[in-house]
Structure 1
Amino acid sequence: MRTLMFALTALLAFASTPVKAMEFVEGRHYQTLDTPRTDAPSITEFFSFYCASCYHHQAFNQMLEARWPGVLTKYHVSFLAPRNLGPEVQRAWAAAQLLEVDKEFAQVVFDRNFVARDQVASSTAMEAIFADLGVSAERLEQTMASFQVRSLSNRMAQAERRYQVSGTPTYVVNGRYVMDNRGFRNSSDFFADYLALAEYLLAKP
């Protein structure tokens, strides 16, 4: 009887012991940049509509936005787009945000590129997407020519240079820490572990 009680006590003690949190190591799970830490919590994703991994990371972005509303900023990079279209896609992405159709625009472009296999490879194709989303040609032209679009697209380009972004998706946390997916090659739940890393870096001084 005492043996049974000991076994039950040990089992209850084990069940009540918290699972050890994953330990994150600099140089393996994240890199530290020689840049100032932002005052407010921030996660900046550098992505491309022409990057298959970025397409698959949309589910992870939804996890970030659900966990920390308003913390994620998405900057389109100037490389990877076909026919030197990078800067124009940056401006289109800026316009989509200002017109408040960014989620719909991103979904359509990603689906065209990786589901329908009908790559969005011209300004005409992007204009057609805006039209399908209910944005008139006149309103799109005014928005694309606006100071706000120039300012936002310049901000994307400057941030891309500042953080020396060379691949996508790249996640920069608080302007100082770069998440490194190479440290999660043996992860059984990559997005959950990556989310835990984001939480760790957001709290890191």
Structure 2
Amino acid sequence: MLDAALIKECADPSLKPAIVEQFVRAVGSEDPLAITVKSGGRLILVPKPKKPEEAIEIVRENIGGSIVRVGLTQIPAGIGLKDASELKADLVDPCANLRMGTTMFAKILRIVAKWYGNPTSEEVFLQLFDDAVHAWQTGKFEGESVFQAEDAGGAVVQKSEDGDDAEEAPEADATPQVKEEPSKPDDAGIRIDLTRIGGQK
């Protein structure tokens, strides 16, 4: 169970706390120094690090031909880096790892939501969330690499367990003055569903 203060301070603000918890429960680890190494679909056993420096050293040693996942969110190490020496100890810092992981997962959620036509129903969100978790675990969605993919942008209407289902998380480029009835996401005037034109990608 993640600490609520850690979620508030470190998680991507576009994700509701309930979704952050659900995400970490589905894919993450309670140990901020947790390292998972897979090569050719097989799990490689690595020594359990006691300090962040040890953890990064293990990541550097294994990142060559393997998939290395790290920390609370089990984020893939080395995304966007050209060299293993660029890896920093903040990869295993609980706050930094949660921030990077949830930011990446929020991007994947937006990619999946766009493919679904940005739905607003609770049933579809559950499927969308499952697909996003699967994409996180496999690194792919609809044959595309999700970690290197461009962000689809926009906001995902998130359903939370407490029934507070219509509130959208704030987006950096959102225009708050347009909100008249935030309880009805279908009424947002700027949304256009283009899924019927030309089919889905």
Shorter-chain TM band: under 0.3
- TM-score, normalised via structure 2 length: 0.25
- The higher radius of gyration belongs to 1
- TM-score, normalised via structure 1 length: 0.24
